[in-house]
Amino acid sequence: MRILCDACESAAAIVFCAADEAALCCSCDEKVHKCNKLASRHLRVGLADPSNAPSCDICENAPAFFYCEIDGSSLCLQCDMVVHVGGKRTHRRFLLLRQRIEFPGDKPNHADQLGLRCQKASSGRGQESNGNGDHDHNMIDLNSNPQRVHEPGSHNQEEGIDVNNANNHEHE
């Protein structure tokens, strides 16, 4: 299942901008995010090509279309109808869109792949991208671990807490 661009509503979306809460095709992404300096700072993540549907957690062979928030399970239509009867009908369930996102650190040469996808999309309209595959220069890896800075004389060291070894002891 492909997600359509929220701006033009005709092309397949290739990026998601959290600040705009919008999925955008390559052309609309360039129009929206290249128009001014503030919009160009928005962080965006690439949308992956549609993947195979996840399987139902109950029968394990039919594609799952629903997610039950209470049970924490993905269900096909048949299993959803069997499981959610009586009082369980009040469980909040959501439609699974099965749209994966690509974070910049997930695949090698991710920037090149996104740039090529934009080039292919724009070359059909006679528009060329900048050619260096630098379309996602504002994307960050949300899965990376933050770097922690421990300053000398911090509060933890004053109270005898050894942050590196996780040993707590008091000064005598």
Q: Is 12 left (phi over 0), alpha (psi -120 to 50) or beta?
A: beta
List the binding residues: 5, 8, 28, 33, 56, 59, 79, 84
Which residues have C-beta within 8 Å of that of residue 32, sequence separation ≥ 6? 7, 17, 20, 22, 24, 39
- Amino acid identity of residue 149, one-letter, is V
26: nearest Cα among 129, 137, 142: 129
Residues 44, 29 contacting (CB under 8 angstroms): yes
List the binding residues for Zn(2+): 5, 8, 28, 33, 56, 59, 79, 84
- Amino acid identity of residue 54, one-letter, is P
Q: Which two tokens stand for residue 39?
A: 């919009």
Q: Would you list the DSSP string of 62-126?
A: SBP-EEETTTTEEE-HHHHHHHS-GGGGGS-EEE-----EE-TTTSTTHHHHHHHHHHHHHHTTT
From the centroid of its chain, how far is CA 27? 20
